[in-house]
Amino acid sequence: MAGIEHKQVDNDEAGMRLDRWFKVHYPGLGFGPLQKLLRSGQVRVDGGRAKSDTRLQPGQTVRIPPMDVDAKGVKAGPIAGRDLKHSPDGELLARMLLHEDDKVFVLNKPAGIAVQGGSGVTRHIDKMLEAWTSQKGEKPRLVHRLDRDTSGVLVIARTRGAAQKLTAAFRERDTKKTYWSVVKGVPKKREDKISTWLVKEQTPDGDRMRIARHGEDGADHAVSFYRVVEQAGQNFAWLEMEPYTGRTHQLRVHAAHIGHPILGDPKYFDADVNWSFPGGVQNRLHLHARHIDIPHPSGGRLRVTAPLPPHMVQTWNLFGFDQSAADGEDD
């Protein structure tokens, strides 16, 4: 339970009713509990008592008493599969929220939900963001992507101007994206650069990337870096990976290319018939967008780290990996 907070009303919240403002910022707080807080004077606007229909103005300060819901109404605990299917869009996004300011949202996307729509996709982040449309009618915008089965840091622009600057930063590679993965076996080189050409091909199981020849039609150059952080015997390794380019499935293809595919990868993990998944490790993709360092649209740098998803925490515990061994980038 948090202590007393004071939140300032944003410019795009001008004229918003106080109860609506609470619904946006604390969707987990019900109507009854809010009325009780208002009647008892625990919620105040610029130090004075307020009612649910009080109209807010930019720059005013709302006093938030200790409550059983966190900022944005975040429910405790990891997001389960049933939540991905059934939780309201605004509530689900709020539970993913890692960072927010007037220009940017940063989410910790769970594995299993697509960023954009496509064949067979019934729910995706881009559509869900309509729940966070501003008072001016501006819907937050995607500025980069993560694979459906990849979890972790996803940056969202709140305004058109912010989207332009963030998109430019990704295009000009003025970003540092750090991923954590667990791979089969241990690379001989403790750290290395992987440079190949990749081309997309159609398969019965959907699009798949493959290593291509230089100059092959449709092929794009892809460069990744990795280092071995820790290993579990000679059977598994925890890699910290950085994509210099941003090609589809790039890290997954590159890991397989060097002979160490990422655990649980449904497209690129191949093993001999006698190989089986170790007990206690879930057969789910072990690839997580751990950290991002990107220019903030308002100046300076935005640095955000996303906690590991439950299936990867389970693997870290089983193999005895120490998360602090690679967290120098979180400073």
Alpha carbon 108 to its chain's center: 3
Both ends of the chain: CA-CA distance in Å? 26
| Cα 286 from Cα 306, distance rounded (Å) | 14
**What is the chain's percent helix, strand, coil content, to nearest 5?**
25, 30, 45
| Cα 117 from Cα 55, distance rounded (Å) | 37
Residue 321 vs residues 184, 228, 282: alpha-carbon distances, Å: 15, 12, 16
- Give start and end residues of each alpha helix (H) in the chain: 18-25, 31-39, 81-86, 89-96, 125-128, 160-171, 250-257, 310-319
**Does 192 participate in catalysis according to the annotation?**
no
Alpha carbon 280 to its chain's center: 25
Q: Residue with structure tokens 């869900």?
A: 128
Q: Other CB atoms closer than 10 Å to residue 122's CB: what's the count?
A: 8
Q: Are 45 and 54 in contact (CB under 8 A)?
A: yes
Which position among 46, 102, 147, 265 bears the catalytic label? 147
Amino acid code (one letter) for 309: P
Kindly state the helix (H) or strand (E) to which residue 45 belongs, with its residue range: strand 44-45
| Strands 191-203 and 141-142, bridge-based pairing | unpaired
Q: Give the three-class secondary structure for 166.
A: helix
Joined tokens for residue 297: 């649209």
Joined tokens for residue 177: 């994206």
Joined tokens for residue 24: 């946006």
Catalytic machinery residues: 147
